Amino acid sequence: MTRVLVIIPAYNEAASLPAVIQDLRVCYPAADPLVVNDGSTDETARIARGLGVPVLDLPYNLGIGGAVQTGLLYAARERYDYAVQFDGDGQHRADQLAALLAPVVARRADVAIGSRFMVPNSYQVPFLRRCGIAIFSAVNALIVGQTITDNTSGFRAYGRDALTFLAREYPHDYPEPESVVTLCRNGFRIVEVPTSMRERQGGRSSITLFRSIYYMCKVLLAIGVRATGRRVGRVQDDTAHPDYLGSR
Amino acid sequence: MTQRIQIISVLGSLAVMVFVFMLIRRGKLREEYAIIWFLASLALIAVSIWRDSLDVAADLAGIYYAPSVLLLGVIVLGFALAMHYSISLSRLAEQNKRLAQEVALLRHQIESLNDAGGPRGHSPTPVRR
């Protein structure tokens, strides 16, 4: 029996979380949802617990990268076969989860990324953001020799090897485009799956217009460093502390 | 005149060394950082006593105006220190993140243990002495 963990990073997502969990339970009941509460100041943790979902409470805000990595650490230690990254704001659709997992389960890929840009006109992206995404796509294509149309997508499925690897090596603040390069450089196979996404149900995007320039510079720098950087090697499964597993 | 500035700078350097020493004794400064400040004060004392060293260094480096060697040295030291702190901060941030993640995972583990009936005899009531 394969086990799937759905990691839901949530920073002040109390408004949208119930619908997200409900959506997951209806569309993909076989998966275990896990909320990573990234130091929320609202009722996120209480609401998630009220829904009977396990919650990892970070003592303070780590940012999306640190939050997702916490979920990946959990997945690695609890011996999950697959992990899915799924936003807590209602953007991602649980009915697309099976399609996202399919190539990973079939071992055609180690990582599947849900792309908004393989379905024509399905999702309205503001012009500037579309430009940024195009730049990432071009830069990453140049570096890894594979065109990823939606590098910023946070709707992703990981196989066991990839999730164990990322539990150790996951980028900080804005991890998505950078992790594509890290994964490719370390020999993980990535496929994109056409996905439609909803408009946000609540909360605000973590990337405001003001921070976009900083975001672009930081991520491009990180990608550049990754492109020249060391290969870390695939799997040394040292994420599982023996005491932790022994107590189960 | 020259003696006066020599005395002032030697005294100043000694004061820095004493200050650093006191900080270490009170446990407010780790030795790894203290070493840098000790070396800097020692270098300053050496330059104060042997003033010609500046001229010698300027000659060697092909610098026309000898006192600028001192400025250059201070700038290089400041740069090296700032770099050292950036590296330390990055390492601390990484460790801090890992620690927060472990705290979250452990807290969850404790919760699930408690939900499962909890380990008997390990109730959180404080032990009276």
d(CA A93, CA A91): 7
Residue B82 DSSP SS3? helix
Using CA coordinates, name the residue in chain B closest to A68: B101
How far A127 CA sits from the closest chain B CA (Å)? 34
**pLDDT tens digits, one per residue of B37-82:** 888 888 888 888 887 888 888 888 888 888 888 888 889 988 988 9
Predicted model pTM: 0.80
Considering only the beta carbons, identify the residue of A55, A69, A172 that sits closest to B101: A69
| A36/B109 CB distance under 8 A | no
pLDDT at B102 over 60: yes
Query: Do residues A4 and A94 make contact, with C-beta atoms less than 8 angstroms apart?
Result: no
Supply the Cα-derived Rg of chain A in whole angstroms: 17
Considering only the beta carbons, identify the residue of B103, B108, B112 that sits closest to A59: B103
| B104/A244 CB distance under 8 A | no
The pLDDT assigned to A122 comes to 57
pLDDT truncated to tens, each residue of chain A (248 aa)? 789 999 999 999 999 999 999 999 999 999 999 999 999 999 999 999 999 999 999 999 999 999 999 999 999 999 999 999 999 888 899 999 999 999 999 999 999 999 988 876 656 677 777 788 888 888 888 888 888 888 888 999 999 999 999 999 888 877 888 898 889 888 899 999 998 888 765 555 655 667 778 878 888 888 888 777 666 555 445 554 444 333 33
Considering only the beta carbons, identify the residue of B104, B112, B113 that sits closest to A57: B104
Query: Do residues A132 and A211 make contact, with C-beta atoms less than 8 angstroms apart?
Result: no
pLDDT at B127 over 80: no
The pLDDT assigned to A131 comes to 82
The pLDDT assigned to A66 comes to 94
Question: In B29-44, which positions are buried (b, 16+ CB within 10 angstroms) versus exposed (e)?
Answer: beeebeeebbebbeeb
